């Protein structure tokens, strides 16, 4: 033993990056509580998320050539130890999550002051950091059980964050409770699935699981595990019939939390679903193909139309955006169900594009709520004219939500339609375009309220504070930017899709 240790090569900062981006926010959360000073909570949280963002960008650049980075926590080599494993697919999602976190925090500074009682601020930022840690962790890890642990860290802190909206509207409490019940059922199904996998294979490392399932073929236990994992994660993703928790949670959460959740929480869950469907289980298994064709396609079409249709009739703009999110999740699932590289890249690129778009929209609504007090359409009359910069950012991101050419939303829908044509599914391609028309209707309703109605003469609304405007515009500009320069988003999505489609071979050591 001692002789071996003399060969130990000291690890450098660069070697630690995969774990550091999870550890830094994890460390920040207890520090915020331990110091317990309200004035220091925000700076610590912001520094931690900015550091995580920088690290995830470095990681993304390192894995863009299609390789992967493996980090052994505790020095125990996989499959025994916990492995953090970064490849193009999760590096992209990590960059999205940490990027959104970094942009949301400056915005949160003003909006939290307005919406949450002072005594809760310190713990709010600690919870935010825990949620951030959980989302990053479940994406970064290569260990199936570790996914569950981080999933619970992010979920539990999310329930608290959603409940913070109670100061504004008591219904936040029931929304958080609903989410708690549904989220716990989802997590339970997921862990039952994992237990079955462990029973069948005796391992929890994803790459090892993939090898063993590929070698030994499937049996009833593995098929049941697949079903449990898909349904469990499906609840967290809010796949159409399992979406019930989402509208209330997004509507009644504090603005900053709505922004963060809408852009990251379901996206991290979609990544986990992708990872299990393509890397751990092999898509070539007949049962998985059937699941995709018989379950995913009808439900994603249903989501695209039904949820968009419901969104059209909402009277609360946050609720409308929440239903629109469910519809957009339909597009992402449709991309998965195409089962080709183009479809998967459409899913991954839409994950990023929709995250950015929806975050910008929720930020706009949150800024308006500072003056209107609520997100009901009739309280927002004419606010686009009173708050020109906020309104313009919402128009830009609204266009991206529809998928107007020249915006990020167009790129993802374009790739999705391409994927449909590759499979010869022209009916589905038409369905994608038709459902975009529904998006035109609800986004138009938003424009109409913001610009074409007379503002309330007693309204004291003025332009949003700079700390809210800058993050909002960063995201709005990103909506346009990713519509023209697709090198970063679509480029890395394609690399990631190839890696995922290589199945268990893509997970080889």
Partner 1 sequence: MHHHHLILRVVTKMLVGAIMLFAFYVQFHGDFSPGGGFQAGVIMAVAFIIYGIVFGLDKAEQVFPPWLVHKLVALGVLLYAGVGVVSMLLGYNYLDYDAFSPHHPSHGQHWGILLVELGVGITVTGVMVAIYYAFAGRPPPMKDEDW
Q: How far is the CB of 31 from partner 1 (least distance, A)?
A: 7
| H/E element, 84 | strand 83-86
Residue with Cβ nearer partner 1 (84 or 331): 84
Phi, psi of 72 (to 5 degrees): -100, 110
List binders of partner 1 among 361-380 (CB under 8 A).
none
Residue with Cβ nearer partner 1 (6 or 39): 6
Number of Cβ within a 10 Å radius of residue 460: 8
Task: Name the one range near partner 1 by CB under 8 A: 15-23, 46-54, 235-243, 287-295.
Answer: 15-23
Q: What is the rounded distance in angstroms from the CA atom of residue 66 to the CA atom of residue 319? A: 39
Tell which phi-psi region holds residue 19, choosing left (phi > 0), alpha (psi between -120 and 50) or beta.
Answer: alpha
Tell me the CB-side half-sphere exposure of residue 184, using CA atoms within 13 A: 8
Q: Is 117 among the residues that bind partner 1 (CB under 8 A)?
A: no
Contact criterion met (CB below 8 Å) for 233 and 269? yes
Q: How many residues bind partner 1 (CB under 8 A)?
A: 24
Q: How far is the CB of 18 from partner 1 (least distance, A)?
A: 9
Q: Is 71 among the residues that bind partner 1 (CB under 8 A)?
A: yes
**Terminal CA-CA length for the chain:** 25
Q: How far is the CB of 75 from partner 1 (least distance, A)?
A: 3
Contact criterion met (CB below 8 Å) for 482 and 405? no
List binders of partner 1 among 74-113 (CB under 8 A).
74-75
> CA 190: distance to chain centroid?
18
Number of Cβ within a 10 Å radius of residue 54: 14
Contact criterion met (CB below 8 Å) for 380 and 463? no
- Count of H helices and E strands in the chain? 22, 2
Residue with Cβ nearer partner 1 (5 or 215): 5
Q: How far is the CB of 495 from partner 1 (least distance, A)?
A: 27
Residue with Cβ nearer partner 1 (20 or 151): 20
Q: How far is the CB of 74 from partner 1 (least distance, A)?
A: 4
Q: What is the rounded distance in angstroms from the CA atom of residue 447 to the CA atom of residue 292? A: 37
Q: How far is the CB of 193 from partner 1 (least distance, A)?
A: 25
Q: How far is the CB of 73 from partner 1 (least distance, A)?
A: 5
Residue with Cβ nearer partner 1 (8 or 220): 8
Residue with Cβ nearer partner 1 (9 or 454): 9
Nearest-Å Rg of the Cα atoms of the chain is 22
Q: Is 244 among the residues that bind partner 1 (CB under 8 A)?
A: no
For residues 23 to 62, the per-residue mask of contacts with partner 1, x marking binding by CB under 8 A and - elsewhere, is x--xx-xxxxxx-x--------------------------
Phi, psi of 456 (to 5 degrees): -60, 125
Pick the binder of partner 1 from 40, 64, 70, 72 (CB under 8 A): 72
Angle between helix 144-163 and helix 255-274 axes, rounded to 10 deg: 160
Task: Name the one range near partner 1 by CB under 8 A: 3-11, 156-164, 339-347, 449-457.
Answer: 3-11
Contact criterion met (CB below 8 Å) for 406 and 412? no
**DSSP state for residue 86 in the 8-state scheme:** E
List binders of partner 1 among 250-309 (CB under 8 A).
none
Tokens representing 133 are 């840690």
Pick the binder of partner 1 from 47, 57, 64, 73 (CB under 8 A): 73
Q: In this structure, what is the dihedral angle of CA atoms 425, 427, 431, 432, given to the nearest 10 degrees?
A: 30
Q: Is 177 among the residues that bind partner 1 (CB under 8 A)?
A: no
Task: Name the one range near partner 1 by CB under 8 A: 2-10, 220-228, 263-271, 318-326.
Answer: 2-10
**Secondary structure of 367-420 in the HEC alphabet?**
HHHHHHCCCEHHHCCCHHHHCHHHHHHHHHHHHHHHCCCCCHHHHHHHHHHHHH
Q: Is 10 among the residues that bind partner 1 (CB under 8 A)?
A: yes
Q: How far is the CB of 176 from partner 1 (least distance, A)?
A: 16
Task: Name the one range near partner 1 by CB under 8 A: 22-30, 61-69, 353-361, 456-464.
Answer: 22-30
Chain residues in the site for partner 1 (CB under 8 A): 1-2, 5, 8, 10-11, 16, 19-20, 23, 26-27, 29-34, 36, 71-75
């Amino acid at each position: 033993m001692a002789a071996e240790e003399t060969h130990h090569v000291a690890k450098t900062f660069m070697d630690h990056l995969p774990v550091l981006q999870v550890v830094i926010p994890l460390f920040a959360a207890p520090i915020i509580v331990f110091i317990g000073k309200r004035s220091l909570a925000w700076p610590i949280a912001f520094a931690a998320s900015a550091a995580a963002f920088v690290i995830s960008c470095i990681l993304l650049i390192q894995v863009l050539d299609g390789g992967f980075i493996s980090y052994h926590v505790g020095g125990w080599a996989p499959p025994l130890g916990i492995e953090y494993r970064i490849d193009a697919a999760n590096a992209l999602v990590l960059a999205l999550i940490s990027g959104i976190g970094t942009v949301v925090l400056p915005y949160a500074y003003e909006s939290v002051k307005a919406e949450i009682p002072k005594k809760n601020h310190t713990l709010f930022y600690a919870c935010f950091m825990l949620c951030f840690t959980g989302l990053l962790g479940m994406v970064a890890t290569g260990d199936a059980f570790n996914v569950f642990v981080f999933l619970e860290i992010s979920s539990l802190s999310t329930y608290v964050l959603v409940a913070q909206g109670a100061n504004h509207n008591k219904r936040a409490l029931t929304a958080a409770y609903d989410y708690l019940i549904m989220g716990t059922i989802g997590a339970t199904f997921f862990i039952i699935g994992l237990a079955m996998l462990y029973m069948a294979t005796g391992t929890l490392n994803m790459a090892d699981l993939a090898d063993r399932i590929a070698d030994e073929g499937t049996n009833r236990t593995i098929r049941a595990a697949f079903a449990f994992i898909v349904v469990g994660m499906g609840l967290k993703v809010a796949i159409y019939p399992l979406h019930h928790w989402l509208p209330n949670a997004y509507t009644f959460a504090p603005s900053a939390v709505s922004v963060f959740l809408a852009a990251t929480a379901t996206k991290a869950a979609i990544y986990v679903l992708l990872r299990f469907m393509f890397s751990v289980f092999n898509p070539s298994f007949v049962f998985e193909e059937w699941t995709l064709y018989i379950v995913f396609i009808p439900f994603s079409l249903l989501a695209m139309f039904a949820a968009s249709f419901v969104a059209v009739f909402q009277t609360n703009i946050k609720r409308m955006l929440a239903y629109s999110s469910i519809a957009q999740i339909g597009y992402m699932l449709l991309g998965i169900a195409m089962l080709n590289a183009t479809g998967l890249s459409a899913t991954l690129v839409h994950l990023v594009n929709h995250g950015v778009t929806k975050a910008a929209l929720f930020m706009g609504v949150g800024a308006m709520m500072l003056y209107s007090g609520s997100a009901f359409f009739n309280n927002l009359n004419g606010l686009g004219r009173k708050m020109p910069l906020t309104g313009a950012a919402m128009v830009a991101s609204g266009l991206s939500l529809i998928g107007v050419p020249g915006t990020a939303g167009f790129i993802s829908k374009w790739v999705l339609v391409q994927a449909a044509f590759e499979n010869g599914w022209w009916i589905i391609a038409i369905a994608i375009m038709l459902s975009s028309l529904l998006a035109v209707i609800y986004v138009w309703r938003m424009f109409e309220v913001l610009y074409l109605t007379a503002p309330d003469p007693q309204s004291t609304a003025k332009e949003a504070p700079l700390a809210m405007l800058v993050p909002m515009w960063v995201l709005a500009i990103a909506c346009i930017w990713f519509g023209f320069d697709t090198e970063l988003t679509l480029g890395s999505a394609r690399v990631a899709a190839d890696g995922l489609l290589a199945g268990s071979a893509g997970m080889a050591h």
